[in-house]
Amino acid sequence: MDTPPRKKKSPWKVVLIVLGVVLLIGGSAFGYFVFKANETAENTNKELERGDKSERREETIDLTKDHFSVLLAGVDGGASLEEGRSDSLMVATFNKESRQVTLVSIPRDSYVDIIIDDNDPFKDKINHAYAYGGIDATISTVENLLDIPIDYYATINFDGIEDLVDAVGGVEIDVLIPISGQATGNVELEPGVQVLNGKEALAYARMRKQDPAGDIGRAGRQQQVIEAIINEATTINSFTKLNRIMNAVGENIRTNMSLSEASQLQPYVKSLKSFNRETLEGTDLTLNGVYYYELDPTDLRDAQALLQTELGMPVTADEPETDETDDSMTETTTY
């Protein structure tokens, strides 16, 4: 199975709002877009408790001149974006000078320090941060893990992916592995290039246990689906599909990025089709009978250095310290 190229980035929600700028059909269509985009933005916007600036920033960033980052979270909370866990986490950096977009996927079971407000950190799976403290705790946890500021976020209900794929009329995917069974909603797919509908694309993006590469394989498939959505969305030229996309966005996505800020992302549109990407690597770990994914310290350090460089920050990542774990508590398990 092909391994996806390293370091790649593309925001669920950011891509969709940027879409508005890309979809300028001209004339009266632009007027319709402005009306619909503003209506959608009202539904999707949700500010963070911290305000509009990360504590790791001295000043609020200016998208017209600064490099910036976006946290993308796929939330598995049923019909609610306020509950559940972040089933998928990706950090995207946008470099103002190179127009380069870089995406780093964080495996959902990564064993990390969870940061909630001013409380002492505690170890758990990174996807539990959302259940403990919502998007605010998730951002604090990711900032601590990667040692960078998170400037914006976008959360999407996983059910929204199905709506979004159907809104763009399906996506062409090179299916890497066969999937089937009740765990995939009885969706059956064989390897090969094919057009998937919303239900099929969601099953392909979410399936994990049937993938020999586990979480890493799933992260690669999720990135495939994101790219396919971008490719389809940026070629849309009809009011009907535009309306469907806006409805899918408004019902299933939340972000702290305003419409005016999103409109400033137009220079990155081409980069969204050819971004760098990476998935943090590690090893399987079992503690007290619970499965975790232990991130490789060297790979994590490399990812920190890359993201810091893309954000124009000093590289602070040092040689990793050896974390000695009590052998009586730990056992490495191969799946």
pLDDT digits (tens, 9 = 90+) for 202-235: 899 888 777 888 777 877 787 788 778 877 776 6
Q: What is the mean pLDDT of residues 260-283?
A: 77
Structure-model confidence comparison of residues 218 and 37, the more confident one: 218
Neighbours of 244 (CB within 10 A): 18
The pLDDT, as a whole number, for residue 289 is 95
Kindly tell me the burial class for residue 108, based on how many C-beta atoms sit within 10 Å of its own C-beta (0-12, 13-18, 19 or more): buried
pTM: 0.74
DSSP code, position 270: G
Residue 12 has pLDDT above 80, yes or no: no
Tokens of 75: 């939330």
Of 48-62, 211-225, 236-250, 268-282, the one with minimum mean pLDDT is 236-250
Q: What is the mean pLDDT of residues 283-291?
A: 94
Q: What radius of gyration do the chain's Cα atoms show?
A: 19
CA geometry: angle 129, 164, 74, nearest 5 deg: 10
The pLDDT, as a whole number, for residue 334 is 30
Tokens of 235: 């070629």
Q: What is the mean pLDDT of residues 290-306?
A: 96
Residue 238 has pLDDT above 60, yes or no: no
Of 8-17, 54-63, 207-216, 273-282, the one with minimum mean pLDDT is 8-17
Structure-model confidence comparison of residues 174 and 28, the more confident one: 174
Answer yes or no: are the C-beta atoms of 276 and 101 closer than 8 Å.
yes
The pLDDT, as a whole number, for residue 37 is 55
Q: What is the mean pLDDT of residues 137-152?
A: 96
Query: For strand 122-125 and strand 290-295, is the pairing parallel, antiparallel, or unpaired?
Result: unpaired
Tokens of 321: 């310290």
Residue 175 has pLDDT above 70, yes or no: yes
The pLDDT, as a whole number, for residue 325 is 43
Residue 318 has pLDDT above 70, yes or no: no
Q: Report residue 317's pLDDT band, with 50, 70 and 90 as the boundaries.
A: low
The pLDDT, as a whole number, for residue 38 is 58
Percent of the chain with pLDDT over 70: 71
Residue 153 has pLDDT above 80, yes or no: yes
Q: Where are the alpha helices (DSSP H) in 127-181?
A: 128-146, 158-167
Q: Tell me how far the alpha carbon of residue 29 is from its chain's centroid.
A: 30
Long-range contacts of 138-143 (CB under 8 A, 24+ apart): 138/71, 138/73, 138/86, 138/89, 139/48, 139/50, 139/54, 139/71, 140/115, 140/116, 141/112, 141/113, 141/114, 141/115, 142/71, 142/89, 142/91, 142/106, 143/54, 143/56, 143/115
The pLDDT, as a whole number, for residue 332 is 32
- 246 φ, ψ to 5°? -60, -40
Taking all residues of the chain, what is their mean pLDDT, rounded to a whole number? 77
Q: What is the mean pLDDT of residues 169-193?
A: 88
pLDDT digits (tens, 9 = 90+) for 48-96: 999 989 999 999 999 889 999 999 888 775 555 555 566 778 898 999 9
Structure-model confidence comparison of residues 133 and 333, the more confident one: 133
The pLDDT, as a whole number, for residue 330 is 35
Q: Report residue 272's pLDDT band, with 50, 70 and 90 as the boundaries.
A: low
Rounded to whole angstroms, the Cα distance separating 86 from 129 reads: 8
Tokens of 231: 């490719």
